[in-house]
Every structure is written in C-alpha cells, then in structure tokens.
Structure 1
Amino acid sequence: MLDHLVYATPELDRTVEELAGRGIALSPGGPHPGLGTRNHLAALGGSAFLEVIGPDPEQPDPATPRPFGVDELTAPRLVTWAIQVPDLDTALDRARALGHEPGDAVPMSRRRPDGVLLAWRLAFPPDNEGGLVPFVIGWGDTPHPSRTAAPGTSLLSLRGEHPDPQRLGRVLAALGAELEVTEAAEPALVAELATASGTVVLR
C-alpha cells in the first residue's frame, strides 16, 4: 500500500512556498536529527502523504550525505516513493525469497512540532532504479503522519517510466507493490495531484 511520495529539494522553504502557490498546502513535519534534513507534509487521501524534504539550516552538516540525494540536487524532484507494510521483517524476507534485495531495516525517528515523537523502521533498496523501486516502511504503533499532514490535496495517479518495464515489474511484484510503468529512455516517477488550484504534476 502506498505510504508516501518523496519530493526532494535543495531549498526547502522556497519549494514549500512554490508548491503553496500551486495549491499544495504543506504543514511542518520536523527535523531528522543527525541527517541534516527536515520535511513538510501534505495529506493525499487515505493513509498516504507527500513528503517535501530538504536541508535543515538549523542542523550542522551531517557526517554522511543527506538522504534521497538532496546534496546533489539543483532543482526539486520527485525522487522515490514508499510502501507501508504491517510487518516489515516479513515483507523483507518475502522480497528476498522472490529475488529482490530490499535492504536492511533501519530504525528512525523525528519529533513533530507539537512534541510528539514518531518512530518507525524502513529499508532502502541498494538500487531503486531511479526512484521507481519503493522503499519499505513500517510504522508500528506510532501515529501515522498522514493524520496531521495539511489537507486539501489528493493523489489522482502515480506512474513510472523505465527502459525495462518488464524487469521492473518483477521487482515490484516481489515487494507486493503496484505501479503502472511505461517504456522510456530514462527512469522517472510521475505523480498527478488534485489541488484547490487545479491539477499539479510532480516528476
């Protein structure tokens, strides 16, 4: 099940303002301690949300590169997506049994602006095929971010472009994920969103 989309940017405040101008309201999510990033969120309907993530100027430069290739970005980009599973370890074992390496589970946490601590576990694949292979996330008992994310936006469609859709389809099947993928020269993830100001396409 789709958990969230990740829209990464080299300048978070500017991108949040730009998206607001296009009709996408975002609420502050919070910093990721030690990673040098923070995020803003928009609910997309159901238990899905849009995460806009970028450098956090209030944190020192991290010891390792910021996640999602933030340090290399020159413009905002829809970099990947996440699927939510009820049992992360079981989902990872199933993917490996079906021939896909989903990565190891890593615990993470951040504190919301209201002080509530969110804690979750996720696994990043060693190769996400240009963002088309989702990472897997399990929230456990923590409150899901979609509950407090800014309303007003809904996801109309999510699709992918890839040089080898059939091979990618086998990887997605190992994860129990579904994504319409068409053949293209370069990988791309494309989301169509409905907002108060009309339709917005992120890629």
Structure 2
Amino acid sequence: MDALNIIPAELDHLVITVPDLESGVAAVEESTGVRAVPGGSHPGRGTANFLLGLAPTGWPKGAHTYLEILGPDPQQEPPADGTLPLDAHLATEPTLQTWAIHPPAFLAKIAAANTAGIDFGEVQDMARDTAEGDRLEWRLTARSPLPREGAQPFLIDWGESVHPAEAALPALELLEFRVESPEPESALQVLEVLGAGDTTVVEGSDRRLRARLRGPDGVLEF
C-alpha cells in the first residue's frame, strides 16, 4: 500500500469550513455526487454543520469517520466579536480547515501535551441537538487562531454520546489524507505526543492539510 494512503487510526473527522452552508454543501455534492445531511446547530456559537460519512481506504471494513461541513448558521446571530469556532469566519471558499482525533485516553493526552509544551488551547464542553432531536455532548481542545494553521489536530472526547459517524450518513471514500509542513519532523513529534503518530507528514512550503475524497460522480481534492 502507498504510504500516502495510510489514514491515521485515531482520526475522528475532517472539517471543511465554508462562507455559506447552502452553497458549500452544493459544491461538495457537485464534485462527488453525494449530498451532506444536516448535522445541527451550535447554539451561541454562530455555526451549524452538515455531515457526510467517510470510509477510509485501508481501514477495516465497517470502520468509519466523518466529514463536517461547517459554516455560519443562518438561524443565529453571529458572535459579537465575529469569531466563529475553528476559525470558520475566515473561510472565503470551501477549505479543509482542520481535523480531529479521538485518542482513547483523552485526559492523558492533554497531560502529555502540557508536559511537552504543546499549545492546544483549552478544553471546552460543547453540545448540540441533532436533526433528529437527539442531544450530543462532547469536550474538545480549542484554540483561535488554530494551532499550526489547522495542521495540528484538536482532540475530542464524545463521552457517553453516540458518535456522529454511527448514524446512517451518506458516505464518501477517504482515499488519502496527509499533513504538509515546512518542518515535518517537528510536526510529527507533536502528532506522536497527541496520539496520531501514524499520520503521513510530508515536507511542504506551508502548513496545510491534503485530502482526496471520492464519490460516485468524482473525486474532491483539497
């Protein structure tokens, strides 16, 4: 198997930020032939999301993660300072903004990151209602601006909530995922502390994420 097709085992989800949810969802559908479904609103934070399941190449059959399309919620007033979660307010086009991992020992990884001097921001509690009316509650690490321009993942712990990818989501195949960095060795050291040391990291002029997603009508690349 090509090393670039090894998807990190603790990948929870990828986040695409868009300036407008309706047009962002339509753009993904146009490229892949698959339409995302409503996830829910983030009360008081000014955002809402749409979701697609992801079936990563090389993962065991039945294993899955998901794609979050995040943008301003037209049913909410934006926050007073104009800042949206995950720096979604900066999006001018659909952008693979950041990614989440779900290490099994969430608090232990937080402690390890603190010891190693890794700036992950702070741990926040969050919640939203799904389109079906179920309540999801989780905690995650959050920092704005995003650490390492989003190339450093945030950590998430779903607690007792049902993971969003366990819903019957329309899905794309995740063909490839990698991190690019002008300092790949340093980036990989951080990922190893956080619990994603199996991530493919390659040298690039800027810090950014790369992914290829395939649906029945085509491949979407970031």
Q: Which moved more, 1:34-43 or 1:157-166?
A: 157-166
Q: Say whether the 8 Å CA contact 1:37–1:54 is kept in structure 2.
A: yes
**Partner residue, 2:123:** 105
Q: Distance in 1 between matches of 2:172 and 2:131?
A: 21
Partner of residue 122 from structure 1, selected from 140, 153, 166? 140
Query: Scaled by the length of structure 1, what TM-score is found?
Result: 0.93
Pair 149,13 (structure 1): closer, same or farther in 2 beyond 3 Å:
farther
Q: Distance in 2 between matches of 1:149 and 1:63?
A: 36
Amino acid at match of 2:217: S
**Partner residue, 1:60:** 77
Partner of residue 14 from structure 2, selected from 5, 16, 41? 5
Q: 1:60, CA displacement in angstroms?
A: 1.1
Q: 1:125, CA displacement in angstroms?
A: 4.9
Q: Say whether the 8 Å CA contact 1:99–1:174 is kept in structure 2.
A: no
Matched, 1:193 2:213: yes
**Partner residue, 1:180:** 200
Q: 1:52, CA displacement in angstroms?
A: 0.2
Q: Distance in 1 between matches of 2:167 and 2:216?
A: 19
**Partner residue, 2:92:** 74
**Partner residue, 1:147:** 166
Q: Say whether the 8 Å CA contact 1:47–1:144 is kept in structure 2.
A: no
Q: Please give the per-residue CA displacement for 1:5-57, whole angstroms capped at 9, x wherever unaligned.
A: 00001011001011111223311000000011000000002231000000011
Matched, 1:22 2:31: yes
Q: Distance in 2 between matches of 1:137 and 1:160?
A: 19
Q: Sequence identity, in percent?
A: 37
Amino acid at match of 1:44: L
Q: Distance in 2 between matches of 1:124 and 1:149?
A: 28
Q: Which moved more, 1:155-164 or 1:6-15?
A: 155-164
Q: Structure 1 runs of 4+ off > 3 angstroms?
A: none
Unaligned runs of 5+ in 2: 1-9, 56-62
Unaligned runs of 5+ in 1: none
Higher relative contact order (CA 8 A, sep 6+): 2
Q: Secondary structure at the match of 2:150?
A: coil
Query: Scaled by the length of structure 2, what TM-score is found?
Result: 0.85
Pair 35,125 (structure 1): closer, same or farther in 2 beyond 3 Å:
closer
Pair 109,149 (structure 1): closer, same or farther in 2 beyond 3 Å:
farther
Q: Say whether the 8 Å CA contact 2:120–2:147 is kept in structure 1.
A: no
Q: Please give the per-residue CA displacement for 1:173-192, whole angstroms capped at 9, x wherever unaligned.
A: 11111321222211210111
Q: Distance in 2 between matches of 1:56 and 1:125?
A: 20
Count of residues paired in the alignment: 202
Q: Secondary structure at the match of 2:112?
A: helix
